[in-house]
Amino acid sequence: MIAESEKTILLQQLREPFPLSAETIAFYQEFGYVKLKNVLSAEVLTYYGEIITDWVFRLNKLNKPMDERTTYEKAFLQIMNLWCENEEVKEFVFSERLARIASELMGVSGVRLYHDQALYKEPSGGITPWHADQFYWPLSSLNTITVWIPLQETPMEMGPLAFAEKSQNLEIGRDKEISDESEALLADTLKQFSMNDTPFELGEVSFHAGWTYHRAGPNKSDKPRKVMTMIYMDKDIRIVEPTNEYRLADWQTWLDSKPVGSIADGKLNPILYVS
């Protein structure tokens, strides 16, 4: 437990604007991602990170030995919509600071939550194959973005997120789920792109576009790589006809099976920021 005055300071940081330069916004729009230092303090990450971690291990059902798992299962423990489980996790997920950054990077007037997900890469956890997130989303525009928040310093041995720069416009591989197949195809295709594969300092976060290709290496450390993510979408984005089984499942699970063509404003998709 922390004192009420200390909690007030943490909440204030989650609400306060984070200044973005025109150059930073231009970088994101050209390269399809951006890494930002000192977005969240050690105090915020420690306090909320402990609560998130508790809920991840409370809800996790993947207990198979590592050598019996698929490539996807080896990549991470994945727990979604933690904001529905705990009010303090909700405070973190609903951070106006982070939502405002997402809105400003995309150049839209506001954002909704698509969903959150904790991604915990266990010690000896394998690679996260090359993929683009929007393969899974039945949404009408490119105005989607994910914030990737390491809850600890993340050196190379822990498998930080890596980005293929300017790959958000690449059409090849858009029909591939995250898999050994996507890794093999895209590892070859993306040789023509520069890659940002660098560690994350404590408090550093990244934002990447829905069609930006990214991956992560294995966790060679003896500690879990703890990461929280939120996916944001333009508040006016609409639902399109699901074109694969994953988009169909997302439409039913996250978008409340709302009619195709309607705004993606299901009960799990609150507006988190409006300019």
Structure tokens given for 275:
């300019």
| CA proximity to 72, closest of 149, 180, 219 | 180
How far is Cα 22 from Cα 32, in angstroms, rounded to an integer? 15
Helix (H, G, I), strand (E, B) or coil at 240: coil
For the whole model, what pTM was predicted?
A: 0.96
Query: Average pLDDT of 117-129?
Result: 95
Question: What's 60's DSSP letter?
Answer: -
- Name the least confident of 62-66, 113-117, 132-136, 144-148: 62-66
pLDDT at position 72 over 90:
no
Long-range pairs, 40-47, Cβ under 8 A, ≥24: 40/13, 40/149, 40/203, 40/205, 41/13, 41/203, 42/202, 42/203, 43/6, 43/9, 43/10, 44/10, 44/13, 44/14, 44/92, 45/149, 45/151, 45/152, 45/202, 45/203, 47/2, 47/10
How far is Cα 197 from Cα 200, in angstroms, rounded to an integer? 10
Which phi and psi (to 5°) does residue 60 adopt? Answer: -60, 135
CB proximity list for 83: less than 8 A, separation 6 or greater: 89, 90, 92, 93, 94, 113, 116
pLDDT at position 1 over 80:
no
Query: Average pLDDT of 22-30?
Result: 98
Give the model's pLDDT for residue 140: 98
pLDDT at position 65 over 90:
no
Residue with tokens 């105005």: 143
- Name the least confident of 70-79, 81-90, 185-194: 70-79
Give the model's pLDDT for residue 56: 96
Cα distances from 90 to residues 77, 119, 205, 221, in angstroms, run 20, 17, 19, 30
How far is Cα 184 from Cα 190, in angstroms, rounded to an integer? 10
**How far does Cα 267 stand from its chain's mean position?**
20
Give the model's pLDDT for residue 62: 85
Tell me the domains of the chain and their CATH numbers: 14-257 (2.60.120.620)
Q: How confident is the model at residue 76 (pLDDT cuts 50, 70, 90)?
A: confident
Give the model's pLDDT for residue 64: 81
pLDDT at position 260 over 80:
yes
Q: What is the pLDDT of residues 209-255, one digit of tens each?
A: 999 999 999 999 999 999 999 999 999 999 999 999 999 999 999 99
- Name the least confident of 67-71, 85-89, 106-110, 212-216: 67-71
Give the model's pLDDT for residue 57: 92
Q: What is the pLDDT of residues 138-150, one digit of tens each?
A: 999 999 999 999 9
Q: How confident is the model at residue 67 (pLDDT cuts 50, 70, 90)?
A: confident
Residue-averaged pLDDT of the chain: 96
Q: Give kind and range of the element (H or E) at residue 34.
A: strand 33-36
